[in-house]
Chain A
Amino acid sequence: QVQLQESGPGLVKPSQTLSLTCAVSGGSISSGGYYWSWIRQPPGKGLEWIGYIYYSGSTYYNPSLKSRVTISVATSKNHFSLKLSSVTAADTAVYYCARTYYDSRGYYPDYWGQGTLVTVSS
């Protein structure tokens, strides 16, 4: 059973960089066959896909965040990470990491972390 666990600061100051890590257990990122995604949800609102990474390091970023986002992978540690720069209060959200299955019928997160609330405030 694959498990994902987000970790990182719960409070970030405006203009600083949000950094989160997702540790994966029960499966290897480097085995391929999946994207590894970051998705966020502002309190009381809907879901926004931030981006995803393949084990090889190739990435996709949502254009709405592309200028501020970096997703990286550390296959030796079996984890992947998110950095979001120049944060504002609008970046306050629960951040989820997720394993994302893909095939000819599309792609979808099938395993999710529990989520971590990141608040942007001075």
Chain B
Amino acid sequence: DIQMTQSPSSLSASVGDRVTITCRASQSISSYLNWYQQKPGKAPKLLIYAASSLQSGVPSRFSGSGYGTDFTLTISSLQPEDFATYYCQQSYNTPPTFGGGTKVEIK
């Protein structure tokens, strides 16, 4: 299985901050990388697919980049509704696997 490692596992940030979350794959996954946001008690929500494509309806402050083994999710200006846990997921190989998550908390 391809292991997906996210860092940091948690971070504290203030409204308006620029936030970057990293996801590293245990082998090259080309651009087969997706990002999700999950709030407590809710289902995950797709933010970014194919490493850098913004899902319809997702604010443009979210962006994704990367290729191969290293990927980033960036929130350009953190908003109150962005405090949540973020997960990456690869679909290069089966089984599809998720990262362990990054919890973004209010500083």
Task: List residues of A whose CB falls within 8 A of some B CB.
Answer: 46-49, 60, 62-64, 96, 98, 101, 105-110, 112-115
With a cutoff of 8 Å between Cβ atoms, the chain A residues found around residue B46 in the complex are 108-110
Decide if A106 touches B44 in the complex (CB within 8 Å): no
Main secondary structure of the interface of A (DSSP, over half): strand
With a cutoff of 8 Å between Cβ atoms, the chain A residues found around residue B71 in the complex are none
Query: Could you jot down 12 A-B contacts, CB within 8 Å?
Result: A49-B96, A60-B94, A62-B95, A63-B95, A64-B95, A105-B31, A106-B34, A106-B91, A107-B91, A108-B46, A108-B89, A112-B45
Decide if A47 touches B91 in the complex (CB within 8 Å): no
With a cutoff of 8 Å between Cβ atoms, the chain A residues found around residue B33 in the complex are 106
Closest 10 CB pairs of A and B: A112-B43, A106-B91, A105-B50, A106-B32, A47-B98, A108-B34, A62-B95, A49-B96, A107-B91, A108-B49
Decide if A46 touches B96 in the complex (CB within 8 Å): no
Contact of A106 among B42, B43, B92 (CB under 8 A): B92
With a cutoff of 8 Å between Cβ atoms, the chain B residues found around residue A114 in the complex are 42-43
20 extra A-B contacts, CB within 8 A, seeds A62-B94, A106-B31: A46-B87, A46-B98, A47-B44, A47-B87, A47-B98, A49-B95, A49-B97, A60-B94, A64-B95, A96-B43, A105-B32, A106-B33, A106-B91, A106-B92, A107-B91, A110-B46, A110-B55, A112-B43, A112-B44, A115-B43
Size category, B interface = 20 to 34
Cα distance, A87 to B17, chains bound together (Å): 44
Cα distance, A95 to B50, chains bound together (Å): 25
With a cutoff of 8 Å between Cβ atoms, the chain A residues found around residue B100 in the complex are 46
User: Quick one: given A108-B34, A110-B55, A115-B43, are A48 and B91 in contact (CB under 8 Å)?
Assistant: no
A66 to chain B: closest residue by CB = B95
Cα distance, A106 to B46, chains bound together (Å): 14
With a cutoff of 8 Å between Cβ atoms, the chain A residues found around residue B101 in the complex are 46
How close is A24's CB to chain B, nearest CB, in angstroms?
A: 15
Q: Mark B47-69, 1 if CB is under 8 A from A, else 0.
A: 00110010100000000000000
